């Protein structure tokens, strides 16, 4: 899967877990000054992802500033949900911290060129290719 997808407040609200969406709405109702916080986090994350992807010379950036590579959507969503949850005081399961780390690894791999975000791959990343055939050595007993 490759290409671009929209990353907006609406796509984040539709993509986040239902409990988190409900918790967010309750949090905003209790803290009206935080009404725009999700939009701020989405804009910041969108900027980070687009800037990182633009570091690759072979990438032709989508002209729509609200688009990110499909391969990075889940990572961007996880970063927004994680950061929003931390601000709301959510106690995440340990696995959620791993999603945050994976998102940062994805960004780093794109930035250093070891991952091309717009190329479809059948294998997961990172990929480990066998360099050559190994010869079996028979031991004589």
Q: Judge whether residue 1 has pLDDT over 60.
A: no
DSSP string, 48-93: HHHHHHHTSTT----SSTTEEEHHHHHHHHHHHHHHHHHHHT----
- The pTM of this model reads 0.81
Give the tens place of pLDDT for each residue, 21-64: 999 999 999 999 999 999 999 999 999 999 999 998 888 999 99
Give the tens place of pLDDT for each residue, 54-111: 998 888 999 999 999 999 999 999 999 999 999 999 999 988 899 999 999 999 999 9
């Amino acid at each position: 899967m490759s290409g671009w997808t929209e990353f907006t407040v609406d796509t984040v609200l539709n993509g986040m877990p239902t409990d988190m969406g409900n918790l967010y709405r309750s949090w905003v109702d209790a803290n009206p000054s935080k009404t725009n916080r999700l939009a701020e986090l989405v804009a910041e994350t969108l900027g980070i992802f687009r800037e990182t992807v633009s570091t690759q010379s072979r990438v032709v950036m989508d002209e729509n500033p609200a688009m990110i590579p499909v391969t990075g959507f889940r990572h961007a969503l996880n970063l927004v949900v994680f950061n929003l949850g931390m601000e709301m005081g959510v106690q995440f399961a340990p696995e959620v911290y791993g999603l945050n780390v994976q998102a940062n690894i994805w960004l780093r791999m794109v930035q250093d060129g070891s991952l091309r975000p717009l190329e479809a791959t059948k294998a997961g990343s990172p990929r480990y290719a066998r360099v050559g055939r190994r010869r079996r050595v028979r031991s004589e007993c």
